[in-house]
Structure 1
Amino acid sequence: MKLKALIPALALSFAAPFASAATFSDTFDTGLSGWTALGDVALVNGTVALTTASATFEDDIGLALNLSGHDPLAVGMPDGLEHGLSLPLGALDGDALSQATEGSALVRTFSVTAGDRLRFDWMLSTVDTAEAGFGLDYAFVVIDGQRIDLGTAASATPSGNAPYAADTGWSTFEYVFTGSGSVTLGVGVVDVLDYTASSQLQLDNFSIAAVPEPETYAMLIAGLGLIGAIARRRARV
């Protein structure tokens, strides 16, 4: 077999384990199909944004921060945000001095295999600074009832991301599933201790992909080595 024919054949052979790795991806270019929106959720500049800003009452010193015309959902109330996330009442509170009041979330159910990796990009923007509020608003992930916090308003730094006073900058969240089956994922943001100093969570680039096993990497390295050896041998002929 000629080298120029052999190399593509080998490349396809060793790339095969990676070709089927991606099981889900969403950049929200086609909207929110398949997702359930809870509260104030809207598409903004190619990302999905969730806020704690009211559509009914004026808050944030006159700033109009609500995006969808839907109010955020109450926290700590029957049929509120916890219900939409399949959480017990109080699950979004910190302690007795940091109770969540309202918020919004995005929810979807996936089928995963143990070892699959969830990834998405996020940024928290806020007016809940120490000067304007309490700095306690936070963004979170819920995976089958387990809450994992992403960041708080206190960790945001001043920025030019008007109309918000501060933001965390973009970060990437990663999580590796340890079991297989149906999983419910929720991502959201909540006000804490107040209803007036709002926050916004932006999300983008969701994916769930299989993590290649170590032996797959070994096969790829061996294949590349074989291609290199053949190339050197042909060069000497």
Structure 2
Amino acid sequence: MKTTKMIKSVIAAALLAAGSAYATPVVNLIQNGSFEDKTQANGTWDIYSGLDHWTAAAPTGVEVRHNVVGTAADGVNFVELDTYANSSITQAFQTVASQKYTLTFQFQNRDGVATSSQGLDVSWGGTTFASVDSLLYGNWETRSYTLIGNGTMQALTFSAHGSSDGLGTSLDNVSVTAAVPEPETYGMMLVGLAAIGFVARRRKAAK
């Protein structure tokens, strides 16, 4: 009897862990990650002092393009951070202490421009943790990184780092999501399934 109760407790814990892992939908914590807040006419570009939910460095701002020197990776707009000089954009959001987050974004070199003019730096909480450069042209590349929350508002910043000449790397489709469940969660699920099978076999043998 005690064994059965213990197994039931393990099953309940496993199912609860599994439910927690899969019941919560994946939400992008970055708002306006594809820069669609501006109604940019097809075939045009403009420099803005800021975008919805993004703070741009002053006075350089951020350049939004729609089918100009490339097409968007997501939606119709994308941005360049070397406007008439190197610039940056920042967005902050509330984090949970020790929570792992997955940052994903896409970038693309500008056709016909030397690699020395290209490239982006990425910083989290004021610390640069990645510099992305590419030898490819005309193709969007994807990068993913793991970020760790500290329980406060943390700032994510993208900065142009090539020659400050108005011709730089494009950025689009930025997202930050909570990391996938830890392996321990899947372990609990397997324990629960094994326990369910054990109980089923015992009941069948008892009949």
Which deviates more, 143-152 or 227-236? 227-236
Q: Does 1:172 align with 2:144?
A: yes
Matched-pair contact (CA < 8 Å) for 1:17–1:216: no
Task: Tell me the TM-score normalized by structure 2.
Answer: 0.60
In structure 2, do the counterparts of structure 1 residues 213 and 135 end up closer, same or farther at CA, with 3 Å as the change threshold? same
- Give the secondary structure class of the aligned counterpart of 1:157: coil
Q: Does 1:108 align with 2:137?
A: no
Matched-pair contact (CA < 8 Å) for 1:110–1:183: yes
5+ unaligned residues in a row in structure 2: which ranges?
1-7, 38-50, 57-61, 67-71
- CA distance in structure 2 between the partners assigned to 1:114 and 1:197 by the alignment: 38
Q: What letter is aligned with 1:201?
A: L
5+ unaligned residues in a row in structure 1: which ranges?
1-5, 54-71, 75-100, 162-166
In structure 2, do the counterparts of structure 1 residues 204 and 192 end up closer, same or farther at CA, with 3 Å as the change threshold? closer
Equivalent residue for 2:43?
A: none
Q: What letter is aligned with 2:18?
A: A
Offset at residue 192 of structure 1 (A): 2.1
- CA distance in structure 1 between the partners assigned to 2:54 and 2:163 by the alignment: 26
Matched-pair contact (CA < 8 Å) for 1:125–1:156: no
Task: Tell me the TM-score normalized by structure 1.
Answer: 0.54
Q: What letter is aligned with 1:50?
A: V
- Give the secondary structure class of the aligned counterpart of 1:197: coil
State the identity %: 19
In structure 2, do the counterparts of structure 1 residues 218 and 48 end up closer, same or farther at CA, with 3 Å as the change threshold? farther
Equivalent residue for 1:202?
A: 172
Q: Does 1:156 align with 2:156?
A: no
- CA distance in structure 2 between the partners assigned to 1:228 and 1:27 by the alignment: 45
1:10-159 alignment, distance < 5 Å: 10=12, 12-18=15-21, 19=23, 25=29, 28=32, 31=36, 35-38=53-56, 39-41=62-64, 44=72, 45-46=74-75, 49-52=78-81, 72=83, 101-105=85-89, 107-127=90-110, 132-152=113-133, 155-158=134-137
- CA distance in structure 2 between the partners assigned to 1:229 and 1:31 by the alignment: 53
Alignment root-mean-square deviation, CA: 3.9
Matched-pair contact (CA < 8 Å) for 2:120–2:160: yes
- Give the secondary structure class of the aligned counterpart of 1:229: helix
Number of aligned residue pairs: 170
Q: Does 1:225 align with 2:194?
A: yes
- Give the secondary structure class of the aligned counterpart of 2:141: coil
In structure 2, do the counterparts of structure 1 residues 233 and 30 end up closer, same or farther at CA, with 3 Å as the change threshold? farther
In structure 2, do the counterparts of structure 1 residues 227 and 180 end up closer, same or farther at CA, with 3 Å as the change threshold? same
